[in-house]
Chain A
Amino acid sequence: MDEFLTAVALVISLNAVICLYRAAVGPTTQDRLLGVNIVGTKTLVVVILVTFILAENYFLDVAIVYALLLFVVTVAVSRYLEAEGWKEAES
């Protein structure tokens, strides 16, 4: 079972590599943020998988932190993206 879970984690992390394409290319910053958010979700899932691969259940705390932090970062950054101050800077 561990091998299987590791394989799943591997597939998901390879997936994340592909998602980084969006984060790298854009074209808008929102696209990048979205890509990053998705990579973060995948990382979270890998954390959960690793918890069960290593059979150390307190790693789930780390997963909770991941979920909280993903929310915090995405919301904070998109809030800054909304603000008007960007307009002249972006051009």
Chain B
Amino acid sequence: MFNFLSKKLRSWQQQNQNINKENKENDNSKKTKENSQAKLSSNLKENLDSIKAILGVCEDLIIREFAFGNKGQISAAIIFIDGMVDRTLINDNIIKPLMYDNRFICEEESLEIKNIDIIKGTILYVGEIEKSTTINDLVESCLSGDTILLIEKAKEALVISSRGWETRGVVDPETETIVRGPREGFTENLRTNTTLLRRKIKSPDFMLEAMKIGRKTNTAISIAYLKGVANPEVIEEAKRRLKRIDTDGILESGYIEGFIEDAPLSIFSTIGNSEKPDTVAGKILEGRVAVLVDGTPFVLTFPMVFIEGFQSAEDYYSRPYYASLVRVIRFIAFAISILAPSSYVAATTFHQELIPTPLLFTVAASSEGTPFPAVVEVLAMGVIFEILREAGIRLPRPVGQAISIVGALVIGESAVSAGLIGGIVVIVIALTAVASFVVPAQTDSGAILRVILVILAGSMGGVGIMVGLIGILIHLASLRSFGTPYLSPLAPLSPFDLKDVFFRVPIWAMLTRPKSIVRQNIQRQKFILKPTPPPEKKDKGGSK
């Protein structure tokens, strides 16, 4: 016993040491990298060679050597990576002015430093130019799409911002389609995305902080928040967690989510994501922090609470009564999506007395002669449904339709008429499937919960379901997202925030930001904004 324990302990310690070692090695490699930050020499050839040595001979690396000056006496080189730059900008605004502008008359013994400043200051027609002296910097900016201008005899180089690559335009987002509201969605381009947000919140308080994560990918990310509203602790914590990330690559915001979320092993996500600028802007205005990642249209927002999944941007654009009705329907649909199969199993195998008599006859008649117990039927149908769904998403559209036909025929008709499964099971699963799409944020967690609850219901009946639900409740109650309890504003209860949970009050009555998220600047609008008719004019002879 104790042998075992001590072994276990020892292996732990070893693991820890190994990890520490690795970390140290990483640090070392970083240091050597920093040491090797060679400065530019004054020889163009040398500089080019050292850049080539780092970047290697790639087909998309283009080095254009040319000469300029009134006598063509200054040789220079432009380095850029094809496909990541705006070619017309390089041709028209960098090479053309340099070679065409003859006013650049230079003495034989002219100083190289002066040349650089003159070129930067008077010749190039480009918005953003920086000077750089180290080769590493040059390589990095070249890789991110800038153009480098190297000049003979200069110990500095110009980094000319010329990023321009094919991007998708701003289009209707696919995951969150709405009827009323802005149609634009985020794109893969970080700059476009920040612009979309900036266009919504034109305030000096709106802060965007840049960061680069990923040793190999060097992915740019931005932290967006509203200064004076967002909880500074959350911002600090977010930055701390983001800085902790030391990985080779970030390809999508999901990577970031995985690294910074509070409950990495939970089936519930504690960080929200959205593809719509208006949704994200709304969340930022409520005091949340957003993280935009280059290369993905999905923007992370946190702190996230459970009920956020039930709120849609459109709720706030439509009239409050309808919005509230839809809200309630979403809650019902979520309940159906996780409870319907397990309730069916529990009712038909444990609590037949709960089924009204005529319904019981129908259910009994439909399950008469089917070979499998109800649990197996429901689980199998659930798995088949998930397979169909997955196939439908992954396959190309035309084939996807074929899948749905096959699914409908095989499962809906043949299986029932062959007596393999009861007709009621098909109805239950179909209802579940439809309901599970109503709350997209919880679709994935719902699928898992469904399976767990069906198994529990199959072994313990209704008590099993209740045990499962209480377990879920305990789990949800113990979750936090960046310091905010996941179940707030329900638990802990903050009565003021209930204005936006089961029903949505009119916009003019939404006086405060959610208290569980924001600690400062709680009030978001003036107190009396309820529209009223203008006061009646008191002149009595008005009718004439």
Co-assembled chains A and B: no
A residues in contact (CB < 8 Å) with B: none
B residues in contact (CB < 8 Å) with A: none
